Structure 1
Amino acid sequence: MLTLLIIAVTAIVSWLAFQNGRLAERLILWPPAVKRGQVDRLLTHGFIHADLSHLFFNMLTLFFFGRLTEQVIESLAGPVVFVFFYVSAVVVAILPSYLRHRDDSRYRSLGASGAVAAMLFAAILIDPWMMIFIPIPVPGVLYGIGYVGWSWWADRNSQDGVNHNAHLSGAIYGVLFMLVMNPAVGPHFLAALMSPHF
């Protein structure tokens, strides 16, 4: 499964970056380096993480929701489109943050959270009533509302060092990608919303 391959690659690269500070510094999103031509950082930052808990949470979320998204996208358009979706989500999710901080030499960002949010919200479109355990079971659609609300508030008010803007951008991209790829997903989501199952 491609989701498992993405998890494995991300875990390996993150682990190597934990051991090698120079590698981490080369892969992290840092606006001055991007402006000097290292545009690959818009992608590579999504394959390194701040610590093991950051990596674990992102990869666990990807494991649970990426597989459903992968299954549906592969059935509609094939495995290449799924890989494109994930890779493009890493880039698209970070673009607003990069543009906001492009002249800030102190700004750095890393992690797969934006792409994981895209996968999560694509999965919510597919099955809005799937249960998310956080640690109590919550329907995906309610989790999504809370996630967007918290990310929007935290992006404006929190000083926790987390790139909440990338979460929002990733979530929006996940929804839009699914709707553009297959517009029937929209009516399917609305119909599923009217038929709760737990």
Structure 2
Amino acid sequence: MITFLIIGITVLISVVAFGNYTIMERFIFRPAETGPGKWYRFFTYGVLHADYAHLIFNMFTLYFFGGVIEHTFKTVLGDQTGVICYLLLYLTALPISILPTYFKQKNNTNYRGLGASGAVSAVIFAYILIHPMNFMGILFIPIWLPAFLFGTIFLLISVALDKKQGGGINHSAHITGSLYGIAFTVILFMALADINLIGEFAQKISIHSVGDLLRFGY
């Protein structure tokens, strides 16, 4: 699967970069130095991570949601087209999700950005769009919510934290990546398969009762 390939490449480069300052500095996202001849930073920052916890969390998440979305794309669009479109979703989400950061920090010579979370967010929200009533939760927290509700809460919290800033987490990349994942998938399915995902999303939610919205425990 392409998901395994993405994970493999990301893990390999991230681990090598942990012990190689030159690689880290060359490929990390630095808005003030991203321009002619260095546009590659819009992509390469996504294969770098701050530490093992950062790397493991992103790749663990991509493993679970990426595999499902890759399979869905292949089922709906055909193997070859599905693989290409899934890869496009992930790769294009990298520069798109970091754009707000670029415009905000392009004159800040001290800013550094890294991590695949913007692209991973795009994949997660493609999943939420297609499977809004599947239950999602956070590891070790025994509360599960329908995917659409989990995603809504995630976005609201991300917006609030982004306004506060600080914390070393690029919440704007999560927000932008999430919205891009939805837009990309909606347009893709409509254009190539004549499937109205927005309509299906609304229908899946409407046929469930309020009592189905919360479930506690594993």
Code of the residue aligned with 1:186 in structure 2: it is: I
For structure 1, list consecutive stretches of 5 or more residues without a partner in the other structure.
none
Say which one has the larger Rg: 2
User: In structure 2, what is the equivalent of residue 45 of structure 1?
Assistant: 45
8 Å contact from structure 2 (residues 97, 180) kept in 1: yes
User: Is 2:176 aligned against 1:169?
Assistant: yes
User: In structure 2, what is the equivalent of residue 102 of structure 1?
Assistant: 106
> Post-superposition shift, 1:158?
3.3
**CA-to-partner distance for each residue in 1:93-150, whole Å, 9 max, x for gaps?**
0011111111111111100010011000000011012222313222211110111011
User: Is 2:33 aligned against 1:33?
Assistant: yes
**Aligned residues between the structures:** 198
RMSD after superposition = 1.4
**CA-to-partner distance for each residue in 1:155-196, whole Å, 9 max, x for gaps?**
110310110000000001000001111131111111111234
> Secondary structure at 2:145's aligned position in 1?
strand
* Superposition misfits of 4+ residues, deviation over 6 angstroms: none
Which whole-Å CA distance do the structure 2 matches of 1:114 and 1:193 have between them?
A: 26
Choose from 92, 113, 119 the match for 2:117. 113
Which whole-Å CA distance do the structure 2 matches of 1:132 and 1:7 have between them?
A: 22
User: Is 2:138 aligned against 1:126?
Assistant: no
> Post-superposition shift, 1:36?
4.9
For structure 2, list consecutive stretches of 5 or more residues without a partner in the other structure.
191-195
Alignment CA distance shift 1:14-1:86 (3 Å):
same
User: Is 2:185 aligned against 1:178?
Assistant: yes
Which whole-Å CA distance do the structure 1 matches of 2:46 and 2:3 have between them?
A: 15
> Secondary structure at 1:132's aligned position in 2?
strand
Code of the residue aligned with 1:144 in structure 2: it is: G
8 Å contact from structure 2 (residues 70, 82) kept in 1: no
8 Å contact from structure 2 (residues 24, 48) kept in 1: yes
User: Is 2:11 aligned against 1:11?
Assistant: yes
User: Is 2:159 aligned against 1:147?
Assistant: no
Within a 5 Å distance, the mapping from 1:56-75 to structure 2 comes to 56-75=56-75
TM-score normalised over the length of structure 1: 0.95
Once the two structures are overlaid, the 10-residue window that deviates more, 34-43 or 143-152, is 34-43
Which whole-Å CA distance do the structure 1 matches of 2:182 and 2:91 have between them?
A: 15
Once the two structures are overlaid, the 10-residue window that deviates more, 72-81 or 89-98, is 72-81
